[in-house]
């Protein structure tokens, strides 16, 4: 049984999806995925999740204009923020706590190190090494690459440097007008319910007028690990990112290394080739993805079509007064969006793409949809951001799905919490709170700028 402190018990109310939730769910999920894989399966999995990308072609460097180095205050703020986190360390085994303690004794050490990297435009090789942990997605079949999400555990001191870079980059992007408003992923103050409620708002507005609305959830194959470094750097250049930062990111996207632990080799590890993508688990990675993918979400679409983005989850929404009109609008929008995605070297998995038609009418000719001449079937529901969206927008099936999941969690918890001799009341409260966290996933955490009783029914 996991040892839980009073601090964890008290943190439940502050963050239902924080460390207590992750600890309990990790305990219930069992040993690491790699511990149950034979070597051939593991190699096949990592080779699929980390595809070989073309050699990175660096653009020509230009003279660096004068810039401000990191201040002592910037570094101190980052160290303070990271120092309170109790996360798994990277390959070097040095935790945030140790780094924060060292900084307290010698504040100049990190400041000088980070500024030297900034001035020389380089990222040390050790900061580009990652220990890869494969996280199984729900109850998907074992041994299948698409069933896993690779998490890259990077050295914490390098992540602090990334945080400093991300702050500079975010400030620059904001000064150029900021990212697209329809990107809800990796954005402060936004969550999955914002994206779902935006879909609901659009669908309700159209169906209340007797029209048709179709939502197509595009599935992009292994998006984060497949996007090529040249496209990421080109996107940064497109935003006129200062050259002093560009030099650092050119170094960041070069000679990256990774490994995953496994009992199937004599060394206990398997090297993972990394030639593209943004590391899942990095600090600056989510922002870099949003910057590159912004070109997709700002694509000009035909009248009656719109995009809703949550990281790589892309929703094409089309509206029409008739079924034939919504079909024509959706078909054209899908062609434009899929071509723009392909322009980033990414591939839409049409076989995994889902779509739902919303309408209050009973008689109509069912629209026919396709992507690259491959049919996209309409369904009465789809799973979008782990929320079941049904054609009536009742969310009854989502509630049932969550209830079934909670039952499974509670059943497992009951086996480690017997009524006699089990954990004390505080720990019981913590474990039971996990069930409440599962229930609240996707629930609104606050009003959106456009949510009113008239626009979004209860």
Supply the pLDDT for residue 26: 53
**Cα–Cα distance for residue pair 342/296, rounded to 1 Å:** 10
**Cα–Cα distance for residue pair 331/161, rounded to 1 Å:** 44
Supply the pLDDT for residue 33: 75
Helix (H, G, I), strand (E, B) or coil at 132: strand
**3-class secondary structure for 107-130?**
HHHHHHHHHHHHHHCCCCHHHHEE
Strand partners, 348: 220
Return contacts of 48-52, CB within 8 angstroms, 24+ apart: 48/145, 48/146, 48/222, 49/134, 49/145, 49/148, 49/150, 49/222, 49/225, 50/150, 50/225, 50/258, 50/272, 50/273, 50/274, 50/275, 50/277, 51/222, 51/225, 51/226, 51/276, 52/273, 52/275, 52/276
Q: 144-173 pLDDT, tens per residue?
A: 888 888 889 999 999 999 999 999 999 999
DSSP character for 397? Answer: H
The answer to whether residues 40 and 48 touch, using CB atoms and an 8 Å cutoff, is no
* Global confidence as pTM: 0.84
The answer to whether residues 29 and 255 touch, using CB atoms and an 8 Å cutoff, is no
Strand partners, 213: 319, 358
Supply the pLDDT for residue 430: 61
**Cα–Cα distance for residue pair 43/446, rounded to 1 Å:** 44
H/E element, 164: helix 156-175
- Positions of the chain with pLDDT lower than 50, given as ranges: 1-5, 12-13, 16-17, 21, 28, 420, 448-458
**Cα–Cα distance for residue pair 237/253, rounded to 1 Å:** 14
Phi and psi torsions of 6, nearest 5°: -60, -30
**Cα–Cα distance for residue pair 414/428, rounded to 1 Å:** 10
Supply the pLDDT for residue 424: 61
C-alpha distances in angstroms, 320 versus 148, 306, 309, 331?
Answer: 38, 12, 21, 12
Q: Give ∠ CA 310-315-320 in degrees, rounded to 5.
A: 145
Instruction: Give Cβ neighbours of residue 7 (< 8 Å, ≥ 6 apart).
Output: none
Tokens of 199: 């879909």
What is the number of other CB atoms lying within 10 angstroms of the CB of residue 71? 12
Q: Which of 307, 311, 313, 352 is nearest to 334 (CA)?
A: 307
**What helix, strand, coil percent values describe the chain, rounded to 5?**
45, 15, 40
**Cα–Cα distance for residue pair 5/17, rounded to 1 Å:** 17
Phi and psi torsions of 168, nearest 5°: -65, -45
The answer to whether residues 311 and 286 touch, using CB atoms and an 8 Å cutoff, is yes
Helix (H, G, I), strand (E, B) or coil at 258: strand
Q: 354-413 pLDDT, tens per residue?
A: 999 999 998 999 999 999 889 998 999 999 988 899 999 998 988 888 888 877 777 766
């Amino acid at each position: 049984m996991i040892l839980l402190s009073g601090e964890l018990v008290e943190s439940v109310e502050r963050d239902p999806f924080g460390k207590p939730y992750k600890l309990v769910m990790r305990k219930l999920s069992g040993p690491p995925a790699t511990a149950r894989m034979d070597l051939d399966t593991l190699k096949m999995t990592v080779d699929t999740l980390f595809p070989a990308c073309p050699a990175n072609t660096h653009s020509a460097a230009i003279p660096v204009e004068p810039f401000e180095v990191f201040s002592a205050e910037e570094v101190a703020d980052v160290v303070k923020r990271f120092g309170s986190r109790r996360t798994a360390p990277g390959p070097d085994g040095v935790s945030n706590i140790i780094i924060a303690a060292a900084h307290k004794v010698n504040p100049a050490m990190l400041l000088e190190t980070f500024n030297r990297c900034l001035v020389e435009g380089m990222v040390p090789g050790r900061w580009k090494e990652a220990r890869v942990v494969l996280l199984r997605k729900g109850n998907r079949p074992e041994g299948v690459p698409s069933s896993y999400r690779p998490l890259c555990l990077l050295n914490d001191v390098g992540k602090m440097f990334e945080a400093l870079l991300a702050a500079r980059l975010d400030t620059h992007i904001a000064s150029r007008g900021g990212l697209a408003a329809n990107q809800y992923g990796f954005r402060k103050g936004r969550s999955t319910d914002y994206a779902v409620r935006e879909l609901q708002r659009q669908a309700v507005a159209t169906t209340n007028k007797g029209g048709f609305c179709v939502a197509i959830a595009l599935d992009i194959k292994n998006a984060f690990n497949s996007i090529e470094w040249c496209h990421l750097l080109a996107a940064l250049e497109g935003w006129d990112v200062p050259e002093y930062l560009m030099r650092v990111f050119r170094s960041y996207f070069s000679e990256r290394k990774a490994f995953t632990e496994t009992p199937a080799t004599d060394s206990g590890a398997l090297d993972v080739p990394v030639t593209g993508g943004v590391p899942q688990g990095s600090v600056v990675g989510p922002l870099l993805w949003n910057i590159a993918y912004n070109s997709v979400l700002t694509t000009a679409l035909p009248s009656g079509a719109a995009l809703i983005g949550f990281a790589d989850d892309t929703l094409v929404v089309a509206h029409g007064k008739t079924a034939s009109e919504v079909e024509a609008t959706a078909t054209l929008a899908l062609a434009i969006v899929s071509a723009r995605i392909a322009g980033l070297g990414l591939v839409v998995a049409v076989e995994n793409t889902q779509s739902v038609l919303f309408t209050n009418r009973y008689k109509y000719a069912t629209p026919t949809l396709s992507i690259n001449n491959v049919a996209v079937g309409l369904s009465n529901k789809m799973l979008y951001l782990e929320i079941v969206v049904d054609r009536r927008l009742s969310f009854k099936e989502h509630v049932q799905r969550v209830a079934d999941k909670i039952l499974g969690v509670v059943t497992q918890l009951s086996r480690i919490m017997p009524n006699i001799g089990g954990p004390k009341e505080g720990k019981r409260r913590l474990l039971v709170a996990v069930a409440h966290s599962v229930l609240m996933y996707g629930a609104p955490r606050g009003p959106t700028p456009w949510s009113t009783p008239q626009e979004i029914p209860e």
